[in-house]
Amino acid sequence: MIKLQRTIKKSASYSGVGLHTGNQTTIIFKPAPIGHGIVFMRTDLPGSPEIPADIAHVIDITRGTTLKKGEAKVYTVEHVLAALAGLQLDNLQVELDSSEPPVGDGSALPFVETILKAGTEKQDSPKNYLEIETPLFYSEKDKGIDLVVVPSDDLRITFMVDYRNPALGTQYTSLVSLEKEFVEEFAPARTFCFFHELEELYKEGLAKGGSLHNALVICDEDNCKTKIGRLKEMYGVREEVFVGKTGILNDVPLRFPNEPCRHKALDLLGDLYLLGVPLKGHVLAARSGHAANVALVRKLREQYEKEQITTRYQKKATGDYLLDINAILEIMPHRFPFLLVDRVVDIKPRKSVVAIKNVTMNEPFFSGHFPGHPIMPGVLIVEAMAQAGGILLLNTVDDPENRLVYFMGIDGVRFRKPVLPGDQIRFELEMIQFRRGTCKMQGKAYVEGDLVCEATLMATIVDR
Which residues are marked as active site? 290, 369
3-state secondary structure of 23: coil
Here the contacts of 71-76 (C-beta below 8 Å, separation 24 or greater) are: 71/45, 72/42, 72/45, 73/99, 74/40, 74/42, 74/99, 74/100, 74/101, 75/18, 75/20, 75/21, 75/99, 75/100, 76/18, 76/19, 76/20, 76/100, 76/101, 76/103
Q: What is the sign, positive or negative, of the torsion defined by CA atoms of 42, 43, 49, 50?
A: positive
What is the Cα–Cα distance from 78 to 220, expressed in whole angstroms? 25
Task: Dump strand ranges (E) for 165-299.
Answer: 170-175, 192-194, 216-218, 279-280, 282-286
List, in sequence order, every residue forming a beta bridge with 38; answer none if it has no partner: 92
**Gap between the Cα atoms of 398 and 63, Å rounded:** 34
Task: Tell me the CA distances in angstroms from 196 to 1, 78, 219, 228, 322, one per residue in order.
Answer: 49, 23, 8, 11, 50
What type of residue is 188?
P
How does DSSP classify residue 253?
A: P
Residue 441 to residue 456: CA distance in whole angstroms: 6
Closest CA to 175 of 267, 112, 111: 267
Longest dimension (CA), the chain: 94
Alpha helices in 274-370 (DSSP H): 290-313, 325-331
Give the whole-angstrom CA distance, residue 389 versus residue 444. Answer: 11
Q: In what order do the strands lie in the sheet with 66-69?
A: 58-60, 66-69, 72-74
The per-residue b/e assignment along 214-245, b for 16 or more CB within 10 angstroms, e otherwise, is: bbbbbbbeeebeebbeebeeeeeeeeebebee
Query: Is the Cα dihedral 195, 196, 199, 201 positive or negative?
Result: negative
